[in-house]
A and B are shown apart, each in its own frame.
Chain A
Amino acid sequence: MKIKLNKFAVMTVILSLSVFACACSNQDVKGPTPVPVSEISSETEGNFSAVALYEEIAKNVSLPEMYVADDDYILNYYGIDTSKLQDYVFESCIDPTRTDTVILIRLKDVADAEEVTGSLNLLLEQMEAEMANYNPAANELVQSAAVRQNGTWIDLVICENLDTALSLIDHSIQ
């Protein structure tokens, strides 16, 4: 009887602490649950994936709060058919006044490179048009960025530590 009571007490304490922890965490939550990075498409045949590469960049480059674009988003807004992609990460800053973006794509077929780089160049042009008379600092970052292709890999990175990010990509792709 004594043991049962102790178990009950322990369970009560655990439940209470859980409820307390949830209540405390809700005070800081500004919205619903963020989509975890692990949900990004990560099918890959190589030794590293676009996701792994993104995580490496995120460790070494200061990025603001980002959202993850999914297949529907990429097709709807940028006209890129993700069935043609071997592997990708497509992340942009939640803050609409900033342009921080990390797009890492590995194509299944290099023949699709022109189409995909064309879509990303349109996106880059759009950001230039948006920021030209709007946010000089963000515009400067956009001006420094470019869509790059190396075989089946295509990237577009817009961030403050661009050189670091591009070095990491180049090193990984080699």
Chain B
Amino acid sequence: MVKYSSRMLLFSGILLAGMLLLSGCTSKSKLETENKEIKIIPIVTSENVVENSEIPEISTEEISSEFVETDSFPNRTVSEDANEYFSRSVFVGDSIILGYRNYLEAFEGSPVTNAIFLSTASYSAAHALNEEDDLHPIFRGKKQPIWQNLAELDVDRVFLMFGTNDLIVKDAVHASGDVLALVDKIHETNPDIEVHIISMTPVYEGVSKGALNNETIDWYNLYLQQGAQLHEAYYVDINTALRDENGNIQDQYSCDNYVHETNKAYTEVWDAILTNYALGIEPNPATEEDNVAESQTETETDAE
């Protein structure tokens, strides 16, 4: 992680520009695309997955000035009652979110229990963006795009978690771009709903399928974290608490030595972080320390 942290910082601005351009997300484009079909970025096959080193450089001049100014949006809402907070929340995602839903159905005691889950195995942000997709979750007996479900629900916020099925077929820039495009689509159709992006969680040591590996996941999460604010969304870090010192998911939290997680992960990490998040308790001091450490490393490097 530390080894490539400086490279990550150097490229972050450039790649952020690419991500934003790919997701078509300036305030201007939001207005222009209203009531129009959203452009779907074609799926890249596993044979021609773009490696991070091959991501085309995009000039920072290509970033609209309007864009840079859009980073002021309201603070996220919090609650003194986590149960109440999550009873007004929807979770959207793939089999990792489905696993969380199943865990919550099977066990009692989590404040997240009353949330609504719209999740299917194999689901990706690209699937979610495709109005006619076959994998949209069933809700109240019908399949329809997420933003339509949200429009029919009386909820305050939605949590999105994608990445596993996206990174198998796309690079981190395109995969995160799809998530941010989905954020925009939700804002267009549900302007009063807060959108929260959950980080992708780490995979087991050695997992590498398409661009699905822990190094790319770190990039992907960085793009999401930076893109979230520009797309008026909030970012929740679940990844850090699940990983070991090498950036892999800890053994105790992996149920299949691949991407899926144990009930213990959902109890000790997901429930704990989300409860604090609902209550407005800012988590992850470790991340802040890492950031400080990275900044110091950068400063030292610059000084040299």
Contacts and interface: CB of A to CB of B under 8 A. Distances in A.
Contact of B116 (A34, A76, A135): A76
Interface in B246-278: 255-256, 260, 262-264, 266-267
Interface residues of B, number: 33
Contacts of A126: 120, 135, 137-138, 143
Interface stretch (A25-33, A46-54, A148-156, A159-167): A25-33
A92 B138 CA distance: 15
Nearest to B258: A97
Interface stretch (B18-26, B103-111, B212-220): B103-111
B139 A30 contact: no
A73 interface: yes
Contacts of B13: none
A157 to B, nearest CB: 18
A30 B106 contact: no
A68 interface: yes
Interface in A48-73: 65-69, 73
A84 B292 CA distance: 59
B140 A31 contact: no
Contact of A30 (B108, B142, B264): B264
A96 B108 CA distance: 18
A95 interface: yes
A30 B141 CA distance: 32
A131 interface: yes
Contacts of B95: 96-97
B122 interface: yes
B121 A97 contact: yes
Most buried by B among A33, A34, A78, A97: A97
Contact of B105 (A30, A69, A80): A69
Given A122-B141, A122-B143, A131-B121, A31 B264 contact: yes
Contacts of B142: 79, 122
Contact of A67 (B96, B105, B137, B260): B105
B102 interface: yes
B122 A77 contact: no
A6 B26 CA distance: 79
A39 B81 CA distance: 27
B180 to A, nearest CB: 25
B51 interface: no
B135 A76 contact: no
A93 B260 CA distance: 14
Contacts of A34: 106-107
Interface of A: 30-35, 65-69, 73, 75-80, 92-97, 119, 122-123, 126, 129-135
21 contacts: A30-B262, A30-B267, A31-B107, A32-B108, A32-B109, A33-B108, A67-B105, A68-B105, A69-B105, A73-B105, A75-B140, A76-B116, A93-B102, A94-B105, A96-B96, A96-B260, A122-B142, A123-B138, A131-B121, A132-B122, A134-B121
Closest A-B pairs by Cβ, 5 of them: A79-B141, A32-B109, A67-B106, A30-B263, A96-B98
